[in-house]
Amino acid sequence: MIATIDDSRGVAATITTSAAAATRWEVVVVGAGPAGAATALRLARGGRKVVLVDRDGMPRPKVCGCCLSTRARDELRSLLPGPADRSIVGEVPLDVVRLVAAGRAVRLPLPAGGVVSRESLDAALVRAAIAAGADWLPHVTVAGITEPTAAGARLVVAGRTATGDCRLTAAHVVIAAGLADHVRVPDATNVRAARPGSRMGVGCVLDDDAGDLAAGELVMAVGRSGYCGIVRLEDGRIDVAAAVDRRAVAAADGPAGAVAAILREAGADRAGVGITSAALATATCRATPPLTRAAPLVAGATRRIFRVGDAAGYVEPFTGEGMGWALAGARLVSDAVLDAADPAAAYASAHAACFAPLHGRCRRVAAALRQPALVAAAIGAARVWPWAARRAVPFVVGAAAAAPR
């Protein structure tokens, strides 16, 4: 049986396409994932006239591990300061990680983790942005952004809807369109291709009876062709997300086969992770572009187009760091637009200071995960010296986070 999305949680548009086209926006935010929705929320709270657009409606599925790191939870507490605000997200605690490789397994405490489906998180953040005063316009596919020729003139965001073209004008544009960002900008030639050997993301959501997995536990299975995270969501469904070598996907005749191969090689069945091949075979698996694709943070001659979240760059994260990075990036770009005399320079500087060390650490972790024998040896050592493993886990999963404003 294939898991489905509860469409009753849909978030209705707050403005029509024609009204949005007739409005002089201070900021247009393209993409309503955590990075985009959090940016719109912060800007609206800061008094800016902002519209959040997305090519889909809410809720919608996304390839994601659905884990919240310490950083992600700190950012959410900053973004949604009241308990009632945070309750709309619906996250549940995640306190154990089970690492599986080469037939070995070990359980370790996961510091202050959480898990929530992207359907719940993204819709909750969009609703919070609306409550703060942002407008929400779903089902708009943004094709490109045109810069003005006159000094001080507005940017033009060209989009398409089911009924025709849509043109929005704004002083600033924030692109939060994720890894699959296809928004054309004036300096599109600066987009960097993926590094050789870059893995791709693969994910699916299974019904609650598709495997034997305890709530509050994250399983990370590591093989030669990639690694796979498995976690039970707040509604009981099982989320499966993997970083997989692209050649392995072709060799396995598709994403589901590649995930199944990682689980077999890691020895997930022997470790008690009973995700059945039949469940994977009937699931709707989705894939992402290469995970290391990157683009400039600030685009255009006027330097009023900003990228945030995965649209700005992606380094293979581990156990929920991706959403933490998205929420932190939203805070940085919002602060720059709201307070800085030169938003482009302020955002670029703050982003480098925040993310350079995080990305460097994740590159080292991702390199280690490409060696299952090394991971298996680490599992053996963790069994002998559990105290040392517990001290290492915060480094691996990025549990140390600066308190956001």
Backbone angles phi, psi at 220, to 5 degrees: -115, 110
188 contacts 147 by C-beta, under 8 angstroms: no
Let me know how long the chain is.
405
Tokens 């709201």 map to which residue? Answer: 338
Calculate mean pLDDT across residues 251-277: 80
Residue 96 and residue 12: Cα distance in Å, rounded?
A: 37
Residue 272: its pLDDT value, please?
66
Calculate mean pLDDT across residues 276-283: 76
Calculate mean pLDDT across residues 12-16: 96
Edge-to-edge strand list for the sheet holding 104-115 = 67-68, 104-115, 92-101, 217-223, 226-232, 238-244, 200-206, 286-290
- Residue among 360, 363, 354 nearest 326 (CA): 354
Residue 192 and residue 214: Cα distance in Å, rounded?
A: 40
Q: Is the pLDDT of residue 130 over 90?
A: yes
Residue 311 and residue 32: Cα distance in Å, rounded?
A: 12
Higher-confidence position of 136 and 301:
136
Residue 1: its pLDDT value, please?
28
Residue 398: its pLDDT value, please?
63
Residue 7: its pLDDT value, please?
41
Residues ≥6 apart with Cβ < 8 Å to 33: 62, 118, 122, 176, 178, 309, 310, 326
pTM more than 0.75: yes
Q: Which long-range contacts (CB under 8 A, 24 or more apart) does 394-397 make?
A: 394/70, 394/111, 395/361, 396/318, 396/319, 396/365, 397/69, 397/70, 397/97, 397/110, 397/111, 397/113, 397/318, 397/319, 397/320, 397/321
Q: If you ran DSSP here, which 8-state letter would residue 299 be given?
A: E
Residue 156 and residue 142: Cα distance in Å, rounded?
A: 11
Backbone angles phi, psi at 311, to 5 degrees: -65, -25
First to last CA, the chain: 44
Q: Is the pLDDT of residue 3 over 50?
A: no
The confidence band for 70, taking pLDDT boundaries of 50, 70 and 90, is confident
Residue 292 and residue 2: Cα distance in Å, rounded?
A: 30
Residue 403: its pLDDT value, please?
42
Residue 243 and residue 316: Cα distance in Å, rounded?
A: 8
3-state DSSP assignment of residue 289:
strand
Residue 6: its pLDDT value, please?
42
The pLDDT tens digits for 77-117 are: 889 877 666 666 778 888 888 888 888 888 888 877 889 99
Domains located in the chain, CATH noted: 7-61+119-194+293-363 (3.50.50.60), 83-117+196-290+373-397 (3.30.9)
Percent share of the chain, pLDDT over 90: 38
Q: Is the pLDDT of residue 278 over 50?
A: yes
Q: Is the pLDDT of residue 153 over 80?
A: no
What is the DSSP secondary-structure string of 341-361? SSHHHHHHHHHHHHHHHHHHH
Q: Is the pLDDT of residue 20 over 50?
A: yes
Residue 192: its pLDDT value, please?
58
Calculate mean pLDDT across residues 326-344: 96
Residues ≥6 apart with Cβ < 8 Å to 313: 293, 294, 295, 359
Pairing relationship of beta strands 104-115 and 67-68 according to DSSP bridges: antiparallel
Q: If you ran DSSP here, which 8-state letter would residue 310 be given?
A: G
Residue 235 and residue 113: Cα distance in Å, rounded?
A: 17
Residue 283: its pLDDT value, please?
82
- Residue among 223, 196, 199 nearest 369 (CA): 223
14 contacts 136 by C-beta, under 8 angstroms: yes
